[in-house]
Amino acid sequence: MLFVPANAALVHYAEWVQFLYLGDQEKALLELGYITSFGAILGFVSRPWLGQLINRFGARLIWIIGYLLFIAGFMGNLWISEIGWGIYALRGTMFLGVACIFTSSITYITLTTPEQRRTEAIGILGVGGFIGFLIGPMIGEIVLGENPGVTEFETYFWMGSSCVLVSMSLLFFMPSPPGSVKAGSLSLIQFIKTCQKYWPGSIVFINMAFGLSMTVPLHLLKKFVIDQNLNESMVGGLGIITIFYLVYAGWGMTIRILLKNAPDRIGRRKVLCVGLTSMVLGYSGYCTVTAESMWMILVPAFLCGTGHGLTYHCMTALSLQTFPTESRGTGSALSLMAFDCGAVFGMPIMASLVVWQGYNMMFLTVAATVAVISIIYFKQNGIR
């Protein structure tokens, strides 16, 4: 809950890139795609070793290292004044930190809960994330204002780093799961062999589709607001980004809590099917948002919030169920590697698609991709 506001505040990162590019909207959008993809590649490449490091040294230690990496990448932007190799390196460091944090946290929660309640536990962990999503974008918008300058961005980066430091301090009070650490190889070959042995099936491709879909709210939505001139205040001075995340995260958290037992009671695939369907409809709903109909942002906010609230924990539990306890770090790494593929390949393609055909084509492409992969998955595995 304390870390995610800093990570969620990165929805405004597009504004930082726009500020450094001094008004060239198309170049800023393409550069945002390349920067995000580069960072995701670094996170993707590191995953095999992260999983094995967690198996060897424990989830808590790697979790702390992730926080330190994220702070270093976040604070480093205070010394950036132009687009260059430095901003790529810092974004990559942040992605590497996030990779450590989420791989470790998912592994930790699966090692400390029984099998029959694992999906529920992952879901409740995600509730903390939803609370962070409620807070992060709103605070970022308040700090940055309508025309942010150097001072506003400095405050923005200090604010995020402070949240992460407080979050990291709490880890020192959390015990290491007993029996979860073992000596073992750190080789790529061993990672591949473990994944082959416990391969979870086509749920991996659902992770990829989900990763692609999350490029919109995490990386592209702010640029969409800037480019489409959706800058008017909607409620009490709050802009469209804050309203979107209040609804998206608030409703996603609510449905996650209300239906926390549903995956283990009626079946993970059934809940996953409803979640993916909501996401397809939600990304199609972005096409209705214009400067004249800004309130239509509530359609994708509700639908995509429903999709996120029902999809992530079911998808993750299905991805990890074939991995034994001693290889759970490797399973978490594989799941998040698939998620990273969405940003690695999706961001440059989606940014180029916007420049070529506009935002609506990009939204529909995301919806179609999720729909096609979902149909393939459920045809192979069924819904029960």
Q: What are the distances in angstroms from CA 82 to CA 7, 18, 19, 28? A: 22, 11, 9, 12
Please tell me the pTM assigned to this model.
0.79
How far is residue 369's CA from residue 138's CA, in Å, rounded to a whole number? 30
Q: How confident is the model at residue 44 (pLDDT cuts 50, 70, 90)?
A: confident
Over residues 371-381, the pLDDT tens digits come to 999 999 999 88
Cβ burial, residue 380 (10 Å; 0-12/13-18/19+): exposed
For the chain, give every domain's residue range.
4-172+188-381
**Per CATH, is 4-172+188-381 categorized as 1.20.1250.20?**
yes
User: How open is the CA angle 39-333-249, to the nearest 5 degrees?
Assistant: 70
How far is residue 12's CA from residue 215's CA, in Å, rounded to a whole number? 13
Q: Does the pLDDT at position 186 exceed 70? A: no
Over residues 76-93, the pLDDT tens digits come to 988 888 888 888 999 889
- Per-position DSSP letters for 22-74, written without gaps between them: TT-HHHHHHHHHHHHHHHHHHHHHHHHHHHHHHHHH-HHHHHHHHHHHHHHHH
Instruction: Provide the percentage of residues in the chain whose pLDDT is more than 90.
Output: 22
